[in-house]
Structure 1
Amino acid sequence: MQAILHGFLLALGLILPLGAQNVFVFNQGANHKKLRTAIPVVITAGLSDTFLILLAVLGVSLILMTMPTLQLIIYIIGFIFLLYMAWSLWREQPTQLKEQGSMSAKKQIGFALSVSLLNPHAIMDTIGVIGTSATIYEGGDKILFTISTIVVSWLWFIFLAVCGRMLGSIDKTGKYILILNKFSSIIVLIVSAIILKNIIDLIF
């Protein structure tokens, strides 16, 4: 029970703060007329977090983060992708006003991967916090700790998508969703700026 509770509270504390990943999942829930069309973003975000958590618990991610060149490549790709994502979100129209405003499954997956796997904060949270915390457990307790953190991620992304869809269903004019799209774009730009700073630090 200690391992499960520890994993649950730790993951909840890390995932609750506002960030590009959370905003994007909520945004897609709001921008689609039906919740099922936003399922790709939920699954992608959940699998991405699962992947990062497993790497952190197994210690693989610590090895990867000792390679500055690899970090630089990941950050540069992430920076470019997030700039494109911010531009797309800024221009995106709510589905109530313009049907083609909702992202395709392919675009949802691509953007969700970028805000999940190329986000330095997400990487450092899993490596520095979850990975480090997992070292105090062994055997079955470590497995329960890991499963607990993964379950929190999945439940949280489902919750965000559902809340987003609820907003979309009551916002008949699309005014609030339009504001949400602009806000989402600004959040992604802020994350991009943080990544740019990391790129500059790695180069100089």
Structure 2
Amino acid sequence: MLTVLAGLGLGLSLIVAIGAQNVFVLRQGIRREHVLAVVAICALSDAALIIAGVAGLGFVIAAAPWLVVVARWAGALFLLSYGVLAARRAWRGGEELEVGSADAAASAPRGSSATLTRTRLAPVVLTTLALTWLNPHVYLDTVLMLGSIAATHGAERWLFAAGAIAASILWFTALGFGARHLGRWLRTPRSWRILDAIIAVVMIALAISLVVPVLGG
């Protein structure tokens, strides 16, 4: 049990941070749009990476650091693109209509005419996969760090991994499905544009932080 709790605590400490993936999950939760799919992809991806790290894939990444460099540049390009799109939404506005529709659809009785403007599932799935698998920090945190620390637990390393996987499931579930309660503060055009502006700043800042070490080195 102590080994499971150790994995749970370390997993939460690595996952609960402001990052591109968490920001996207939060936004989808507020929009109440494909939340289950987004949460499932994030949690299952973390589980796969944690298992890979405990199984020894971290040694492969350590031996081929160019893999992390490729992921770093690809992730920076994607984050920059997403940040520009968020900035464009913040400048143009209009997202408040979707939030209002979401609230109306959630509160309307069955059979009513309330509708919700939704993005198709495929783009949301692809964005979630990109934000997860093109982030080099994911490999450093889950594969290398968690894998290395799990190895110190010897025969109980898989219990440690189970705790870390449980942390990922708990966090993304709470973030995705809990975010819908923030919708009440996003009923106006201004509030939603502020949210998109914050998302744009975070995404672009993360993109810059990914390539600065490479340029500086």
TM-score normalised by L of structure 2: 0.80
Q: Aligned partners of 1:192 and 1:103: how far apart in 2?
A: 25
Q: Aligned partners of 1:137 and 1:38: how far apart in 2?
A: 35
User: Is 1:156 paired with 2:171?
Assistant: yes
Q: Aligned partners of 1:74 and 1:129: how far apart in 2?
A: 17
Query: What aligned pairs does 1:10-29 form with structure 2 within 5 A after superposition?
Result: 10-29=10-29
**Secondary structure of 1:88's partner?**
helix
Does the 8 A contact of 2:75 with 2:136 survive in 1? no
Residue of structure 1 in register with 2:92 after alignment: none
Cα 1:5/1:80, change in 2 over 3 Å: same
Q: Aligned partners of 1:166 and 1:159: how far apart in 2?
A: 11
Residue of structure 2 in register with 1:45 after alignment: 42
Q: Aligned partners of 2:204 and 2:28: how far apart in 1?
A: 17
Residue of structure 1 in register with 2:83 after alignment: 86
User: Is 1:123 paired with 2:126?
Assistant: no
**Secondary structure of 1:196's partner?**
helix
Alignment length (residue pairs): 197
- Over the matched positions of the two proteins, sequence identity in percent amounts to 28
Residue of structure 1 in register with 2:182 after alignment: 167
Q: Aligned partners of 1:136 and 1:3: how far apart in 2?
A: 11
Give the aligned CA root-mean-square deviation in angstroms.
2.3
Deviation, structure 1 residue 90: 2.7
Residue of structure 2 in register with 1:144 after alignment: 159
**Secondary structure of 1:17's partner?**
coil
Q: Aligned partners of 1:164 and 1:103: how far apart in 2?
A: 18
Cα 1:31/1:23, change in 2 over 3 Å: same
Deviation, structure 1 residue 169: 4.4
Q: 2:61 aligns with which of 60, 64, 75?
A: 64
Deviation, structure 1 residue 146: 0.8
Does the 8 A contact of 1:96 with 1:174 survive in 2? no
Residue of structure 1 in register with 2:4 after alignment: 4
Q: Aligned partners of 1:71 and 1:171: how far apart in 2?
A: 38
Cα 1:61/1:111, change in 2 over 3 Å: farther
**Secondary structure of 1:96's partner?**
helix
1:135-188 CA-to-partner distances (Å, cap 9, x unmatched) read: 11233x222211111111011111111222111245333543332222122111
Q: 1:189 aligns with which of 204, 213, 216?
A: 204
Does the 8 A contact of 1:168 with 1:174 survive in 2? no
Unaligned 5+ runs, structure 1 = none
Q: Aligned partners of 1:151 and 1:11: how far apart in 2?
A: 8
